[in-house]
Amino acid sequence: MANVLVTGGAGYIGSHACKVLAAAGFTPITYDNLSTGWQDAVKFGPFEQGDLLDRARIDEVFAQYAPVAVMHFAALSQVGESVSDPGLYWRNNVGGSLNLVEAASAAGCQNFVFSSTCATYGDQDGVTLSEDTDQHPINAYGASKRAVEDILRNFEQSHGMRHVIFRYFNVAGADPDGEVGEFHQPETHLIPLMLDAIDGKRDALTVYGTDYDTPDGTCIRDYVHVMDLVEAHVRGVQWLLDGHDPAVFNLGTGTGFSVRDVVDHSRSVTNKEVPIIEGARRAGDCTKLVSGSDRAVSELGWMPTRSTLEAMITDAWRWHQSGHYNK
């Protein structure tokens, strides 16, 4: 079976991608420094511990496994942290990605699937984002991801690096089979924070900002089920192996839900109330981000089947109740 190098394969999205890659007949090779990932999540192929800032270690892994493609998830991703410490994001996300791209090119691995973000578009209210929407990131997280996109385009021109870039925002849910799921320390994502508050693992869910220009005053985001998301990434690998040109795809439902929408919907899934504290806005947060995915549907044949609030919260709640990884 052909090897695919998955950076961040011990993390939330990466571990789900490894499961779907294995089911599609590939061998996922997880490369992760375990700073936010969990070795217990590596269940579907070999594990190699290493940091993207360590070029020599990356070269070793390429030499050992000769992957046919790279699937790059590893990155810092906390918006607030990127505002307070932008240098950290430029060093890690951009510097590490440059090491990876250069190592892949040197090893003759010219197929690269990159996990980008709709945060590269910035705060564009009332617009369903398309791949052609101008990019104006408002924080170092989004800016660092856009910079990696530019690196890939540069290496396409200079070295023939063929790539697929996926832009998406809020990923939610968990593997319906319960083999892997979402668990961060510290946790920063809305749905697991909400579920922690529901079952008493934290005192309350803090809603950051209730004065946005939205119907209920809270931020609006487009949520995609993690299994739908990683299925698109596997299609991206196959797209490149089949000889298609480099491409950019948004992944979203085109429908936005506010923080209060998510909280309200959780009641029908869990039959429990969510204790809430209303807090101030976080620096760098956009009002509304909604992403269309017409191109992914028409060109990749991607068809999200689980990206409803009910399915995402139900799968996350099942995983939440089953226990988590040990570190």
pLDDT at 326 over 90: no
Rounded Cα gap, residues 69 and 24, in angstroms: 14
Nearest to 31 by CA among 48, 17, 43: 48
pLDDT at 150 over 70: yes
Q: What is the mean pLDDT of the chain?
A: 93
pLDDT digits (tens, 9 = 90+) for 288-315: 888 889 999 999 999 999 999 999 999 9
pLDDT at 327 over 50: no
pLDDT digits (tens, 9 = 90+) for 174-208: 999 999 998 877 778 899 999 999 988 899 999 99
Instruction: Give phi and psi for 178, each to the nearest 5.
Output: 80, 15
Say if CB 65 and CB 5 are below 8 A apart.
yes
- Pick the catalytic residue from 141, 168, 212, 223: 141
Which contacts (CB < 8 Å, 24+ apart) does range 310-315 have?
A: 310/265, 310/268, 310/269, 311/173, 311/225, 312/172, 312/173, 312/191, 312/223, 312/225, 313/172, 313/173, 313/191, 313/262, 313/265, 313/266, 313/269, 313/270, 314/269, 315/173, 315/174, 315/175, 315/176, 315/225
Is the pTM higher than 0.85? The answer reads: yes
Average pLDDT (35-40) is: 92
Domains of the chain: 3-172+223-250 (3.40.50.720), 190-221+254-322 (3.90.25.10)
Q: Which residue is associated with the tokens 């700073």?
A: 35
Say if CB 38 and CB 325 are below 8 A apart.
yes
pLDDT at 283 over 80: no
141 catalytically annotated:
yes
pLDDT digits (tens, 9 = 90+) for 2-22: 999 999 999 999 999 999 999
For the ranges 147-161, 175-189, 214-228, the lowest mean pLDDT is seen at 175-189
Rounded Cα gap, residues 189 and 117, in angstroms: 15
pLDDT at 325 over 60: no
**What tokens does 226 get?**
């993690």
